């Protein structure tokens, strides 16, 4: 996907990038490629693939929710900033928290944020289950792109989501994940609202946005230790 195709496809989902935003993405892309030579940030390093599979893909979260409002968003396992950092560039009213347990990736993200002079965006070096207690019931939106099975992600994410907030994992092919996650969502007082399935503009890559609403406060025992979550999912 070249830059012109990128702009055309964004307009189809009602995103109209400014020249400033496009320049920010170009700086971001160049830094990603530069740092990737030293650190393994991503396997996707070609310009066209970055625009399609990182930048455009991240922005498809806007299909599920209005991101133009002042909302607190947590991106779990953000890696090199996808989708959270891209969303901040295009939806500046968001208050974004980028969470990752990889020190080099957090250092990279802070470099990009400083270079782009972005405000109201924070990087936290931590595993999700160890996130500070002050973040319990704090975020309006929590997302995560292709990090883990939904039943695992749900226990990691939902304790930090406000009541009536939305957890929106970004997935490829779901297969049996939703069926296997039904009991987890029930125990965590949450409801599957709907799924949005589509293909990226390459007509090959399948994507699914899973929209989950939190209905009640999460018991303080969650999230459990990660090993327990994996060995004995809810």
Segment 195-225, tens digit of pLDDT:
999 999 988 889 999 999 999 999 999 999 9
Q: Can you give the CATH number for the domain in which 171 is found?
A: 3.40.50.150
Has residue 29 been placed in a domain? no
Distance between CA atoms of residues 59 and 83, nearest Å: 7
Q: Report yes or no on whether pTM surpasses 0.85.
A: yes
Has residue 39 been placed in a domain? no
Mean pLDDT (the chain) is: 95
Tell me which of 6-10, 32-36, 108-112, 203-207 is least confident. 203-207
- Taken in order 129, 97, 93, 46, the sign of the CA dihedral is negative
Q: 173: pLDDT confidence band, cut at 50, 70 and 90?
A: confident
How many domains does the structure of the chain reveal? 1
Q: Peptide bond preceding 83: is omega within 30 degrees of 0, i.e. cis?
A: yes
pLDDT over 80 at 147, yes or no: no
Has residue 83 been placed in a domain? yes
Please tell me the predicted confidence (pLDDT) of residue 176.
85
Please tell me the predicted confidence (pLDDT) of residue 175.
76
Q: 174: pLDDT confidence band, cut at 50, 70 and 90?
A: confident
Range 105-109 average pLDDT: 97
Please tell me the predicted confidence (pLDDT) of residue 203.
81
Closest CA to 106 of 138, 84, 81: 81
Please tell me the predicted confidence (pLDDT) of residue 40.
86
Please tell me the predicted confidence (pLDDT) of residue 148.
87
Above pLDDT 70, what percent of the chain?
Answer: 100
Domain that holds residue 71: 67-231
Distance between CA atoms of residues 57 and 170, nearest Å: 9
Q: 75: pLDDT confidence band, cut at 50, 70 and 90?
A: very high
pLDDT over 90 at 18, yes or no: yes
Has residue 96 been placed in a domain? yes
Please tell me the predicted confidence (pLDDT) of residue 85.
98
Residue 161 DSSP SS3: strand
Please tell me the predicted confidence (pLDDT) of residue 52.
96
């Amino acid at each position: 996907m070249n830059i012109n195709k990128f702009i055309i496809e964004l307009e189809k989902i009602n995103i109209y990038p400014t020249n400033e935003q496009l320049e920010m993405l170009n700086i971001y892309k160049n830094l990603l490629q530069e740092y990737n030579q030293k650190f393994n940030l991503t396997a996707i390093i070609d310009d066209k693939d970055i625009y399609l599979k990182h930048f455009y893909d991240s922005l498809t979260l806007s299909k599920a929710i209005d991101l133009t409002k002042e909302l607190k968003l947590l991106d779990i396992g953000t890696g090199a900033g996808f989708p959270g950092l891209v969303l901040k560039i295009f939806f500046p009213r968001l208050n974004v928290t980028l969470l990752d347990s990889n020190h080099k990736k957090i250092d990279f993200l802070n470099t990009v944020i400083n270079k782009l002079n972005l405000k109201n965006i924070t990087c936290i070096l931590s595993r999700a289950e160890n996130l500070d207690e002050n973040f319990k019931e704090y975020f309006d939106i929590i997302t995560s792109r292709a990090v883990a099975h939904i039943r695992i992600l749900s226990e990691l994410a939902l304790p930090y989501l406000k009541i009536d907030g939305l957890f929106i994992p970004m997935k490829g092919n779901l297969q049996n994940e939703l069926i296997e996650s039904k009991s987890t969502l029930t125990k965590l007082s949450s409801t599957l609202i709907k799924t949005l399935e589509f293909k990226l503009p390459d007509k090959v890559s399948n994507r699914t946005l899973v929209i989950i609403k939190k209905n009640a406060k999460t018991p303080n025992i969650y999230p459990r230790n990660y090993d327990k979550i994996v060995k004995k999912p809810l």
